[in-house]
Amino acid sequence: MSSIDQRDHWDDPDGSYDPTERALLLDLAIRAMERGLRQRDRWEPALDDHPDSLRAHRASFVTLTSDGRLRGCIGSLRATRPLGRDVARNAYAAAFEDPRFPPLAEAEFAWLEVQVSVLSPPQPMTFGSRRELLAQIRPGIDGLILEAGNRQGTFLPSVWEQLNDREQFLEHLIRKAGLPPGYWSEQLTVSRYTTESFARPVSARP
């Protein structure tokens, strides 16, 4: 894998991040984890000297892998803070607060690959049946947010790499949201988003 691996599914060409911006976001994620390893506290980076694109409010996910296996993934679905701070916060959470994994140990750090995914604003989908919903989903492109009552689940577009069938993708998302298999309701809501994603091994940091 190259030092910056580019995997884009961004609908808005004005939302694209150039190589410098991508490198800055990855560096913020790595620095947040380093700070966590040293001091076990969240780092809120000052962004005054960063590009406007990193100070704009955007939602992001940070995914950590080690030897090709998931090591942590935490993110935001709504844009509530500057992108640079959102990435730093989510990197810390992915390393130390993902309930599926123990907190990151220093010995693991150098072997991680860090991926940042910047989300486009979610767009509500309109449908009257499960079939209509399935017909609108774009495999390999759409991330989905599924909500029913107080239940919610999301899959990033990268999940299509494991679940490349619309029916499987939707059914697994239903189960992730804590709903029974085959669940359907007129109150079910689904929004879609795309991501611009880029990754780099920690060891490739300049």
**pLDDT tens digit string along 114-137?**
999 999 999 999 999 999 999 999
Rounded CA gap, 187 and 50, in Å? 42
Are 156 and 182 found together in one domain? Answer: yes
Query: Model confidence over 134-164: pLDDT tens digits?
Result: 999 999 999 999 999 999 999 999 999 999 9
Are 46 and 108 found together in one domain? Answer: yes
Q: What domain count does the chain have?
A: 2
Query: Residue 75: which CATH number?
Result: 3.30.700.20
Which structural domain, as residue segments, surrounds residue 11? 5-120+195-204
As given in the structure block, the two tokens for residue 57 are 């409010």
- Tell me the helix, strand and coil percentages in the chain, rounded to 5: 35, 25, 40
Q: Are 101 and 72 in contact (CB under 8 A)?
A: yes
Query: Residue 175: which CATH number?
Result: 3.30.1490.150
Are 116 and 141 found together in one domain? Answer: no
Are 41 and 137 found together in one domain? Answer: no
Are 188 and 148 found together in one domain? Answer: yes
**Alpha helices per DSSP H over the chain:** 19-39, 52-55, 83-96, 106-109, 130-136, 166-176
**Which residue type occupies 27?**
D
Are 133 and 103 found together in one domain? Answer: no
Res 46 pLDDT > 60: yes
Are 32 and 86 found together in one domain? Answer: yes
